[in-house]
A and B are shown apart, each in its own frame.
Chain A
Amino acid sequence: MSRLFVPLLLLAAALFAAAPFVVANAPFEETMGLVQKIFYYHVPSAMMMFVSAFVCGIASAIYLFRRSAAADRVAQAAGELVVLFGLIVLVTGPLWARKAWGVWWEWDARLTSSLLLWMIFLAYLLVRRFGGPGSEKLAGAMALFGMANVPFVYVSVNYWRTLHPKTSVVMTLAPGMRAAFWFSVAAFVILYVLLLTLRKRLEDRQATVEQIYLAIEE
């Protein structure tokens, strides 16, 4: 991964530099017009948020059952990225909703479940930060339970009438939009991998520094 880091970084920079032009050149959606362009940021961010939640949950499970410190560091990095990408989703979503539906927020299934998932991982970070010694395990359980909770949250909030476009919309995009959309997804995936690696590396180094400190004290 460390050898791939610089090429990937350059690729991500190139993709994000080109993204505004690709998005601008994509055809306009008939009813929503310009505001639909948020789609190219909103949906890939949401995808990364859910991917990251599962990365965090699975890494936490590995940490809890195998006692692997490296898995815990991956979980922490992924947990922070859930909150980061979730923030992008929760900021761009209402901006789009205001234009498309006329309201900033709607208690719709997909919105509510995204908000709850985001809150679960915010709680995850709070435990890590303020739980004191031994909070890694507690946070691990939170991530694992949070992951298991996703289907329940989804089913239970689905009771309300759904306004949000279904995920099947991705498959039925106009050809020009589809290219721009998958371009954005690729850019976000690479960005996600880069951020995860970078954050994990920072944690690795902090762990090493701590070990050195302990060795000196002994």
Chain B
Amino acid sequence: MTQFLRVAWVVMRKDLTIEMRSREIVYTTVFFAASCVLVFAFALVREGRPLEDAAAGILWISIAFAGTLGLGRTFERERHTETLRALMLAPSDRPAIYVGKLLGMLVLLAIVEAVLVPMVGLLFHAPVFARPLWLAALLAAGTLGFASVGTLFAAMLVRARSRDVLLPVLLYPITIPVIIAGVRGTAALFQATPDEPMARFWAALLVFFDVVFVTLSLWTFEPLMTE
């Protein structure tokens, strides 16, 4: 088990070290997420007033879009330098490699969210700091659900033709429950009087989704990545 965690940690650190040197994915993804929010602002703000209840939806759609972009770029890097095969040849548990990749993705998305949340709060008058712990819990659970499926699919798509278009095609239908639960839960928190039981219900659904899909991903990563 310690061996498993160590491999995962090393893989994550490798990804973060490469990223720290160029900062390519972080900068582009954060900028992309911010421009997503702005595009929504132009579509949904009328006469200087944001649409009621739009903030939660915009936050989650931007996370999903930026996440897809980040996932694609992370694995494009592995493909470009042909290092995914080397990674797979390493004498370690395959699922550990998956966990390492997933952790790297979660760090990236956490940075994106740290920028997005205040921005949405500012531009759409959303009370993002009314229930900070609940919001953080929803974001963490939702991001894990999205990234767990996304990392698996992006890893598999490395070898596929037209991988850029296939990633969202596969990922969005599967992660719709994450988006619904994230948006509804966050919207419950953004109300004038935050609805905590509702947020708890959606957070529980997200945690359940995470458990099922992380297990399923760990279970299928090995047969899926074997040529």
B-chain residues with CB within 8 Å of residue A120 when the two chains form the complex = 173-174
Query: By the criterion CB–CB under 8 Å, are B156 and A146 in contact?
Result: no
Expressed in whole angstroms, the minimum distance between the Cβ of B6 and any Cβ of chain A is 27
Of residues 133 to 178 in A, which have CB atoms within 8 Å of B's CB atoms? 133-135, 137-138, 140-142, 144-146, 148-149, 152-153, 155-157, 159
Query: By the criterion CB–CB under 8 Å, are A127 and B181 in contact?
Result: no
For this complex, into which size category does the number of interface residues on chain A fall? Answer: 20 to 34
Which of these, B156, B173, B205, contacts A119 with CB under 8 Å?
A: B173
Expressed in whole angstroms, the minimum distance between the Cβ of B207 and any Cβ of chain A is 12
Instruction: Say whether chain A's binding surface is mostly helix, strand, loop, or mixed.
Output: helix
A20 CA / B84 CA spacing, docked (Å):
58
A-chain residues with CB within 8 Å of residue B152 when the two chains form the complex = 141
Judge whether B51 is part of the interface by a CB distance below 8 angstroms. Answer: no
Of residues 87 to 135 in A, which have CB atoms within 8 Å of B's CB atoms? 116, 119-120, 123, 126-127, 130-135
Of residues 52 to 83 in A, which have CB atoms within 8 Å of B's CB atoms? 64-65, 67
Q: Give 1 or 0 for each of B121-140: 1 = CB within 8 Å of chain A CB.
A: 00000000000000000000
A142 CA / B217 CA spacing, docked (Å):
11
A67 CA / B226 CA spacing, docked (Å):
11
Of residues 147 to 163 in B, which have CB atoms within 8 Å of A's CB atoms? 149, 152-153, 156-157, 159-162
Q: Give 1 or 0 for each of B185-227: 1 = CB within 8 Å of chain A CB.
A: 0000000000000000000010011001100100010011001
Query: By the criterion CB–CB under 8 Å, are B160 and A132 in contact?
Result: yes
- Interface residue count for B (Cβ, 8 Å)? 29
Given A141-B220, A148-B216, A156-B181: A116 and B162 within 8 A (CB)?
A: no
A140 CA / B170 CA spacing, docked (Å):
12
Which of these, A116, A132, A137, contacts B173 with CB under 8 Å?
A: A116
Given A134-B159, A138-B157: A123 and B223 within 8 A (CB)?
A: no
Residue among A123, A144, A152 facing the most chain B CB atoms (10 A cut-off): A152
Judge whether B169 is part of the interface by a CB distance below 8 angstroms. Answer: yes
Expressed in whole angstroms, the minimum distance between the Cβ of B215 and any Cβ of chain A is 9
Query: By the criterion CB–CB under 8 Å, are B170 and A142 in contact?
Result: yes
Judge whether B166 is part of the interface by a CB distance below 8 angstroms. Answer: yes
A152 CA / B205 CA spacing, docked (Å):
8
Query: By the criterion CB–CB under 8 Å, are B176 and A127 in contact?
Result: no
Given A131-B166, A138-B156, A152-B205: A144 and B174 within 8 A (CB)?
A: no
Query: By the criterion CB–CB under 8 Å, are B176 and A153 in contact?
Result: yes
Judge whether B180 is part of the interface by a CB distance below 8 angstroms. Answer: yes
A-chain residues with CB within 8 Å of residue B208 when the two chains form the complex = 152
Q: Which residue of B lies closest to A126 (CB)?
A: B169
A-chain residues with CB within 8 Å of residue B184 when the two chains form the complex = 159
Query: By the criterion CB–CB under 8 Å, are A137 and B169 in contact?
Result: no
Q: Which residue of A lies closest to B180 (CB)?
A: A156
Expressed in whole angstroms, the minimum distance between the Cβ of A122 and any Cβ of chain B is 8
Q: Which residue of B lies closest to A66 (CB)?
A: B223
Add 15 more A-B contacts to A134-B227, A141-B220 (CB < 8 A). A120-B173, A127-B169, A130-B166, A132-B160, A134-B159, A134-B160, A138-B156, A142-B170, A145-B213, A146-B174, A152-B205, A152-B212, A156-B176, A156-B180, A159-B184
Closest 5 CB pairs of A and B: A132-B161, A152-B177, A156-B177, A156-B180, A120-B173
Interface CB pairs A-B, < 8 A, 17: A65-B223, A116-B173, A120-B173, A123-B170, A127-B160, A127-B166, A131-B161, A132-B162, A135-B160, A137-B223, A137-B224, A141-B153, A144-B220, A145-B149, A145-B174, A156-B180, A156-B181
